[in-house]
């Protein structure tokens, strides 16, 4: 079950100098559980009102333990429950005010033992979301979704539902848009992803066709493993091409 942020105080709670952390220290604290988190992500969450770190006279951010715990809640709810930031912010603010609240669900959930929080909300079919749920999760309108569909970035099932991973794709398209990268620019990424998927399919196809049920079951685990390696390789190649090293 999700813990309420410690002490019930606001996320801008003051702390002694010895208890405050730089943004780099916060990144290191969070990285064990959230290896993909970056300084840019932390700054973005601040800009969206999810945290309010203190500032030194020279403008440097200083985070309290409460700020870090709140960041952990935000990242965990994004990762495990695919919730939009607005919903997360309202939920955490209500918790800090001591109000009894329940967290609505959007899309796929990880098995985190928190099912009791969602009793008032019927969760969608596993790994599938409806159109309205996708629009709400991404905080976009019909025109944006139709544009993304026209470029093949998000593709509905024949019945009009979507794979829950579409929520993640939508969130990333929105975030890239903040930097001026338009959906039409992302068609090359989509094509590259499809080529990578095709390569993985070639490798695991013999396992899926095997007579032994255990071997066929192993195909899914092998697919996930290869997908993870492919993503890491893609990230490393992009960093190498740009001459940068992400934190």
* Domain boundaries of the chain, sorted by first residue: 6-118, 125-181, 183-247
* pLDDT digits 0-9 by tens, 25-40: 998 899 888 888 888 8
Q: Does residue 58 or residue 107 have the better pLDDT?
A: 58
Q: Which CATH class is domain 6-118?
A: mainly alpha
Using CA atoms, how far apart are residues 171 and 88, in angstroms rounded to an integer? 14
Task: Express each pLDDT in 65-92 by its tens digit.
Answer: 999 999 998 888 877 776 777 778 888 8
More confident residue, 214 or 156: 156
pLDDT tier, 161 (very low <50, low <70, confident <90, very high otherwise): confident
pLDDT of residue 18: 55
Q: CA torsion sign, 234 to 139 to 132 to 79?
A: positive
Say whether pLDDT at 5 is over 50. no
Q: What is the pTM of this model?
A: 0.48
Q: Is the pLDDT of residue 63 over 90?
A: yes
Give yes or no for residue 215 having a pLDDT over 80: no
- Lowest pLDDT segment from 6-20, 62-76, 137-151, 210-224: 6-20
- Amino acid 59: pLDDT: 84
pLDDT band at residue 168 using 50, 70 and 90 as cut-offs: confident
Q: Are 6-118 and 125-181 equal in CATH topology?
A: yes
pLDDT bin (cut points 50, 70, 90) of residue 64 is very high
Mean pLDDT of the 85-111 span? 69
What is the structure's pLDDT at 104?
A: 56
CATH number (3.30.70, 1.10.1660, 3.40.190, 3.80.10) of 125-181 reads 1.10.1660
Q: Residue 120 CA to chain centroid, in angstroms?
A: 24
Average model confidence (pLDDT) for the chain? 77
Does 121 score more than 60 pLDDT?
no
């Amino acid at each position: 079950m999700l813990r309420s942020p410690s002490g019930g105080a606001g996320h801008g709670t003051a702390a002694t100098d010895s208890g405050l952390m730089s943004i780099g220290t916060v990144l290191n604290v969070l990285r064990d559980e959230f290896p993909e988190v970056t300084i840019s992500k932390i700054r973005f969450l601040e800009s969206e009102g999810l945290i309010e770190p203190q500032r030194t006279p020279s403008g440097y951010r200083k985070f309290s333990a409460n700020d870090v715990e709140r960041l952990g809640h935000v990242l965990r709810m994004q990762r495990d429950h695919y919730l939009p930031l607005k919903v997360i912010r309202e939920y955490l603010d209500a918790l800090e005010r001591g109000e009894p609240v329940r967290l609505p669900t959007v899309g796929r959930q990880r098995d985190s033992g928190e099912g009791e929080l969602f009793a008032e909300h019927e969760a969608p079919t596993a790994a599938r979301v409806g159109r309205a749920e996708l629009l709400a999760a991404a905080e976009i309108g019909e025109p944006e979704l139709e544009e993304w569909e026209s470029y093949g970035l998000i593709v509905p099932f024949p019945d009009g539902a979507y794979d829950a991973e579409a929520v993640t794709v939508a969130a990333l398209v929105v975030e890239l848009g903040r930097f001026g990268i338009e959906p039409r620019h992302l068609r090359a990424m989509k094509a590259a992803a499809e080529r990578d998927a095709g390569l993985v399919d070639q490798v695991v196809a013999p396992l899926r066709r095997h007579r032994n049920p255990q071997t066929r079951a192993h195909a899914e685990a092998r697919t996930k493993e290869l997908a993870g390696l492919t993503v890491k390789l893609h990230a490393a190649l992009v960093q190498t091409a740009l001459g940068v090293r992400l934190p």
